[in-house]
Structures are given as structure tokens and as C-alpha cells.
Amino acid sequence: MNPGVQLTSDELLTVLTAVANPHRLRIVAELRDGRVHVSELARRLGLSRPLLYMHLDKLEKAGLVAGQLELSPDGKAMKYFELAPFDLQLNAETIIAALRDGSAKGDDVDTREPEPDGDSQ
């Protein structure tokens, strides 16, 4: 998720879902100082690797973290994760703008700009 980019309602829901979990917030906090190997991250957080991968997948789909597969000198595949640049700002305008960009789930919401005199029709 690039800073300053307007999200669609589906993208906004994906991001909000990703951060609406204490384990995923802890993952973001652990990655703040740089990239970490999955096994090390699992040890730090006290999570199993399968559970950690599930949480990392949600964060990656939301654009909050990025994973990179690297080969060690002995040829072993190693997965590292790091934070992706993001700036999450949530207010009424963010939500209304996301709904304006389209989503079948937001069809019943009035997203029209208010009339200049404050009345809406």
C-alpha cells in the first residue's frame, strides 16, 4: 500500500481486517527495525510457523509487509519479511472516498457531496 494512494472499499476492508488482530499488530511491531527470517520471527512472537504464515499472508495481501525468498550459502531457501511503506489514515473522508470508488457492498450508502448550503437532496 503506497502512502497517499486512495483505496477502494475492498482494499480498505482488506487493510482494516489485516490490522484488526493482535498477532498481526505484534508482527508489524517486530518488523519495525528491519527484515526478519520467518523462523526467527516465529520464535520472537511465540507462534507456530504455519500460524505465522497465515498472519503474514493477510498482512502481505493488504500491502503492509513484503516477503522475499533467498538462498542461503548452502542452497537452503529462506523466507524473510519486512514492512512495506504504508501510512494508514482513517477518517470519514477516507471511508467515503473508498465507497465512491466502487463496491457492491456499499451501494446502499449515500456518498454524494453535500450541497454548498449544507442541504442534501
Q: What is the mean pLDDT of residues 58-68?
A: 96
Closest residue by Cα to residue 5 from 92, 77, 85: 85
Task: Determine whether domain 9-101 maps to CATH 1.10.10.10.
Answer: yes
| pLDDT one-digit tens code per residue, 3-38 | 567 888 899 999 999 999 999 999 999 999 999 999
Query: Structural domain boundaries of the chain?
Result: 9-101
Strands 77-83 and 65-71: antiparallel
DSSP string, 39-89: HHHHHHHT--HHHHHHHHHHHHHTTSEEEEEEE-TTS-EEEEEEEPP----
Residue 117: predicted pLDDT: 61
| pLDDT one-digit tens code per residue, 71-97 | 989 999 999 999 999 998 888 988 888
Model confidence, pTM: 0.77
| pLDDT, mean over the chain | 86
